[in-house]
Structure 1
Amino acid sequence: MKCLTNIIELLNECGIMKIGGTLISSIEFSGYMSLVIFLAGCPLRCLYCHNHELIKGGEEATLEGAFKLIDDSKDFIDGIVISGGEPLVQVEDLKSILAYAKSLKLKTKLDTSGYDPERLKKVIDLVDYVSLDIKAPYAKYKEITRLNIGDNVKKSIEIVNNAKNTYLECRTTFVPTLITVEDIKEIASKLKCDKYTIQQFRNKNVLDRSLEHVESPNPADLKEIAKEIKTNFKEVSVKTAEFGEEKI
């Protein structure tokens, strides 16, 4: 299969990128059977990260290979999800993959931390759905991620909200000892998004090994928090290992 640069202007020449794997999923993009591609690399060092092997890892792949994977999957998928790591690290490859998916009339979803609004601007017109991780109240970002990027995240939220046809889900992982109920309330009071999801912390395969001794929060407790902040958003969900995603 030849490099597909002639399909759409935004496609790059074939090059090498780093990926952390792929899968077909019915739950990563609500309502759509999707091909999920994990792009490797991330500038953040979130203490609770469970994909930390992708921070500096990943296997070499080509855009040509990514396009072929989409071609091979297109008859039984409705969309693609680009996750990570942090996909914006490899923004040119990300742009090319999204553009190719769009050329095939597939829906597109991007999972991101919003760490770099300028990179996000490069791809936002190609994205139907953004899941943006809100790691903490903006003032606590350096404590949780080791980077002081609260202002960048705010700008990224504005970029998505100003995009004409992009749905924005913001989501926060509730990590006992790192995040408090008051932190969630503060986050909710300052967010403008279509949907807010509270995710249950899992203490397996985390970057900071000390968090392996922290218990996962009770789903019932997360639901109570979600009920308290529900009036701030059109839709609020809780996502747990026990019950999956539940709309509150």
Structure 2
Amino acid sequence: METGGTLISSVEYNGKISLVIFMAHCPLRCPYCHNAELLETGEETPLEDILGIISDSSDYIDAVVISGGEPLVQLDNTIEVLKYSKSLGLKTKVDTSGCYPRRIKKILNFTDYVAVDIKAPFDKYGEIIGSDIGKNVEKSMKIINNSKNTFLECRTTYVPTLLNHEDIKQISREIDCDVYTLQQFRNNNVLDENLKDVKNPNPSELKELAKEIKPILKKVKVKTSEFGEECI
């Protein structure tokens, strides 16, 4: 399998200490991608080595998070990691773009938590990220919601030049999830060099926007580098 390393985190699985595994490869080329080094390739890592890291960490972690890249590109390895983590009594989470609804079905029996990146209103994916996969993402969202034992977080990185407030309001009307997170765009590490000149959105702006959409959704959070995650 190809990976981008691992780390221990207190923020990637809400309320739990997690081991985060970064999987290489992604079919998308989002201009604001902050893990661009993983899009094409990663470090060749035997599956057994990753399982060993999980085992060695199991005494001081509560969960395993598989992120990327897009973990579902390496579906079989992702499933093996999820199965093994569950066998140790750990919670499991997968971060995904939602572009592979059929593959989503195959991981739900071993996944407690899925975070789907909602890049744009479903009908604007082609315009915003150059890949017209909105219908696939919508299908993935519905499939996850049909899994009663899987918590669904939808999250959007708010990039001022690519999205506006009306786009976020449209997204809030289109999604159905347990929590929606507005994430602050950071311009220090992006795929599109032009975005390095775009100012990071102010936390106050994101909070005000979150307050506007909160009546539509069950739960709304804002995630910024200044204040971390905040429930609105």
Band of TM-score, shorter chain = over 0.9
Instruction: Give the Å deviation of 1:135.
Output: 0.1
Runs of at least 4 residues off by over 4 Å: none
Partner of 2:161: 177
Where do residues 210-221 of structure 1 align in structure 2 (5 Å cutoff)?
Answer: 210-221=194-205
Pair member with larger Rg = 1
Whole-angstrom distance in 1 between the partners of 2:189 and 2:213: 30
Task: State the AA in 2 paired with 1:58.
Answer: G
CA RMSD, Structure 1 to Structure 2 (Å) = 0.7
User: 1:108 is matched by which residue type in structure 2?
Assistant: T
Question: Of 35, 41, 44, which aligns to 2:19?
Answer: 35
| Equivalenced residues, count | 232
**C-alpha separation between the residues in 1 aligned to 2:197 and 2:28?**
22
User: Partners of 2:35 and 2:50 in 1: how far apart?
Assistant: 21
Choose from 98, 117, 120 the match for 2:82. 98
Deviation (angstroms), 1:145: 2.4
Mapped partners of 2:3, 2:52: distance in 1: 15
Write the distance in 1 (CA, Å) between the matches of 2:118 and 2:191. 18
- Does residue 165 of structure 1 match 2:172? no
1:121 maps to which residue? 105
Q: Please give the alpha-carbon distance, in whole angstroms, between the structure 2 residues aligned to 1:30 and 1:205.
A: 24
Q: Post-superposition shift, 1:124?
A: 1.2
What CA distance in whole angstroms lies between the structure 1 residues aligned with 2:7 and 2:48? 18
CA positional deviation for 1:235: 1.1
1:199 matches 2:183: yes
Contact persistence 2:121–2:174 (CA under 8 A):
no
Cα offset for 1:168?
Answer: 0.4
Distance of 2:128 and 2:81 partners within structure 1: 30
- Cα distance in structure 1, aligned partners of 2:108 and 2:216: 25
Q: 2 CA distance for matches of 1:232 and 1:77? A: 35
Alpha-carbon distance, 1:217 to partner: 0.5
Residue 169 of structure 1 deviates from its aligned partner by: 0.5
Alignment partner, residue 91 of structure 2:
107
Aligned to 1:79: 63
What TM-score does the superposition give when structure 1 sets the normalisation length? Answer: 0.92
Per-residue CA distance 1:62-116 (angstroms, 9 max, x = gap): 1111110001100000110000000010001000000000111100011000001
| Counterparts of 1:82 and 1:214, CA distance in 2 | 29
Shift of 1:146: 2.0
Counterpart Cα distance in 1 of 2:173 and 2:110: 29
Spell out, residue by residue over 1:160-212, the C-alpha distance to the aligned partner (whole angstroms, 9 max, x if none).
10002000000000001100000000000111100000000000110000000
Deviation at 1:19, TM superposition (A): 0.2
TM-score calculated relative to the size of structure 2: 0.99
Residues 28-67 of structure 1 aligned to structure 2 (within 5 Å): 28-67=12-51
Q: What residue ranges of structure 1 are gaps of 5+ in the alignment?
A: 1-16
Query: Cα distance, 1:147 vs. partner?
Result: 1.3
Letter in 1 for 2:4: G
In 2, distance between residues paired with 1:91 and 1:72? 23
